[in-house]
Amino acid sequence: MSAYINQEVKPFNATAFHAGEFVEVSEADLKGKWSVVFFYPADFTFICPTELGDLADSYAEFQKIGVEIYAVSTDTHFTHKAWHDSSETIGKITYPMIGDPTGQISRNFDVMIEEAGLAERGTFVIDPEGKIQIVEINSGSVGRDASELLRKIKAAQYVAAHPGEVCPAKWREGAETLAPSLDLVGKI
């Protein structure tokens, strides 16, 4: 896999459907804030709208903590618009939906299923410096959960703002963290 933790996002240019318009998006748009690049296989399918709808329902919470979401599939931006216009679930989306018909972005993140021309269910959390901090790849038949993604981003943001501390399993905002030290070895 070429998209590793702390690796900088590779350059790309694409067109997205966002807020009723077609807009240009590049890797530069991911810098200066926390971002989620959320790959899914295809528009007009079955699990994908449940995931994208879940993100749409939680989008305000992501925005509150300074996170932008970018949904990406190998469909075109025109197809994204048609899906947005015809589906009640997808019609709720207010984050950018990037078209990747050439597969360049999917290949950059190493989630392209070459024989199918589709992207895996890949989730990438990018820090404000444009570096990947979280990677999650799911089987095509397993949907993702926006609340778990939100929890992981809050943990990543906490650790970035508090050097020397780490977030244990199931950490939630406001819970205790750990400060790795010799004193903790073998005590947890």
Catalytic residues: 48
DSSP bridge partners of 120? none
Cα 99 from Cα 8, distance rounded (Å): 21
Alpha-helix runs per DSSP H in the chain? 47-64, 77-86, 88-91, 104-108, 146-161
Residue with tokens 């019609």: 91
Phi (first) and psi of residue 151, to 5 degrees? -60, -45
Cβ proximity of 17 and 97 under 8 Å: yes
DSSP state of 9: P
For residue 158, give the nearest of 141, 175, 183, 135 by alpha carbon: 175
Both structure tokens of 97: 């939906």
